[in-house]
Structure 1
Amino acid sequence: MITFKSGKLCHAYPSFGELVAEFKRLHGWDAGVPDGLLSPSADRQISTEFVDKSHSEQFRASHHNRATMRVVESTLASRAVEPIRRERPIQLTHHL
């Protein structure tokens, strides 16, 4: 049984990497993200963000429209979990 403490939200389909690749392709960034588009890594590893907030909003909207999320046992969340390809069981709404 997955509990509030043991569960973690992750991408069911498409994967986060697939969403990023699609977003890059739609913007013509197949060869790489242009210099100056992303902030320097905040944690000196992988954490970064768009400098232009309009790109952040575009990616957020794209993610919201395409991503199917699911809750899994937190011990599985750090590993690749078999993607699930199906229609969303619920309609997500945007709240700020």
Structure 2
Amino acid sequence: MKASTKNILLLILTALLVIAPLLLKSDAEFEGADGMAEELITEINPDYEPWFEPFWEPPSGEIESLLFSLQAALGAGVIFYCIGYMKGRKKGAYSR
């Protein structure tokens, strides 16, 4: 099997893995863990008051998701940059 054919099949498989859950559970609500935790805490202790309040609320759930995704991408970029840098230093030490 040629490399380009293999890459196209992997791309199609990845797209199916992303799209299939959305199609199979179209009536599902995508609620974050923070909201679920808040509901559970309120259910257990109705008098609970949070220690802190957020200083800014995103205007919509989409913007909140965008900011979370950017945060995750930035963190992954930093982590993998450091791993690549350390691997490059190690490889450079052996080539001398």
Normalised TM-score (structure 2): 0.24
Which of these two proteins has the greater Rg computed from alpha carbons?
2
Bigger helix share: 2
- The higher relative CO (CA closer than 8 Å, separation ≥ 6) is in 1
Bigger strand share: 1
